[in-house]
Chain A
Amino acid sequence: MARAVSARRSLLTGILAWTIGLVIFFPILWIVVLSFKSEGDAIAAPLAMLRAPWTFEAYAEVQERSDYFKHFWNSVVISVGSTLIGLLIAIPAAWAMAFVPGRRTKDLLMWMLSTKMMPAAGVLVPMYLIFRDFGLLDTLAGLVGVLTLINLPIIVWMLYTYFKEIPGEILEACRMDGADLKREILYILAPMAVPGIASTLLLNVILAWNEAFWTLRLTASDAAPLTAFIASYSSPEGLFYAKLSAASVMAIAPILILGWFSQKQLVRGLTFGAVK
Chain B
Amino acid sequence: MATQHSRAAARLMISPAVGVLLIWMIVPLAMTLWFSFQQYNLLYPDRTGFAGWDNYRYFVTDFRFGAAIRNTLVLVLGVLAITTIGGILLALLLDQPFRGQGIVRLLVLAPFFVMPTVSALVWKNMFMNPVNGFFGHIAQAFGAQAGFDFLGQAPLMSVIIMVAWQWLPFATLILLTALQSLDREQIEAAEMDGAGAWSRFVYIVLPHMTRAITVVILIQTIFLLSVYAEILVTTNGGPGTASLNLPFLVYLASIVDNDVGMGAAGGVIAIILANIVAFFLMRAIGKNLET
Distance in angstroms from B126 CB to nearest chain A CB is 6
A112 CB within 8 Å of chain B: yes
A164 to chain B, nearest CB (A): 10
Chain A residues engaging chain B, CB cutoff 8 angstroms: 1, 5, 10-11, 13-14, 16-18, 20-22, 24-25, 27-28, 30-31, 34, 43, 45-46, 89-90, 92-93, 95-97, 99-102, 106, 108-110, 112-130, 148-149, 152-153, 156, 168, 171-172, 206, 209-210, 212-213, 216-217, 226-228, 230-231, 233-234, 238-239, 241, 244-245, 248, 251-252, 255-256, 258-260, 263-264, 266-267, 270-276
- Whether the pair B170, A27 counts as a contact (CB closer than 8 A) is no
Query: Are A89 and B267 within 8 A (Cβ)?
Result: no
Known contacts: A212-B115, A213-B226. The answer to whether A117 contacts B278 by CB under 8 A is yes
Q: Which residues of A contact B284 (CB under 8 A)?
A: 274
B205 within 8 A of A: no
B222 interfacial contact with A, CB 8 Å: yes
B interface, by DSSP: helix, strand, loop or mixed?
Answer: helix
* A267 to B176 alpha-carbon distance, docked (Å): 10
Shortest CB distance B187–A (Å): 9
> Which residues of chain B from 84 to 105 have any CB-CB distance to chain A below 8 Å in the complex?
90, 93-94, 96-101, 103-105
A13-B93, A110-B286, A263-B109 are known contacts. Are A216 and B117 too (CB-CB below 8 A)? Answer: yes
Contacts of A115 in B (CB 8 A): 21, 24-25
B108/A212 in contact, CB under 8 A: no
Contact check, A92 vs B16: say whether CB atoms are below 8 A apart.
Answer: yes
Docked pose: A230 CA to B115 CA in angstroms = 9
Residue on B nearest A157 in the bound complex, by CB: B285
**Max chain B Cβ within 10 angstroms of own Cβ: one of A97, A115, A273:** A115
Nearest-Cβ distance from residue A193 to partner chain B, whole angstroms:
14
Q: Which 6 A/B pairs are nearest by Cβ-Cβ distance?
A: A126-B31, A14-B98, A121-B247, A92-B13, A117-B278, A212-B229
B contact residues vs A (CB 8 Å cutoff): 1-2, 6-7, 9-11, 13-14, 16-18, 20-21, 24-25, 27-29, 31-32, 35, 90, 93-94, 96-101, 103-127, 132, 134, 137-138, 140-141, 165, 168-170, 173-174, 177-178, 181, 184, 211-212, 215, 219, 222, 225-226, 228-229, 232-234, 246-247, 250-251, 254-255, 260, 263-264, 266-268, 270-271, 273-275, 277-278, 281-282, 284-286, 288-289
Residues of B within 8 A of A251 (CB): 115, 118
- Assess the A213–B228 pair: CB atoms within 8 A: yes
**How far, in Å, is A265 (CB) from chain B's closest CB?**
11
19 A-B pairs besides A30-B126, A117-B278, A121-B267 with CB distance below 8 A are A24-B165, A25-B110, A27-B119, A95-B13, A97-B14, A100-B9, A101-B2, A117-B274, A117-B281, A125-B250, A126-B27, A126-B28, A127-B28, A129-B31, A212-B116, A238-B124, A239-B132, A245-B126, A275-B215
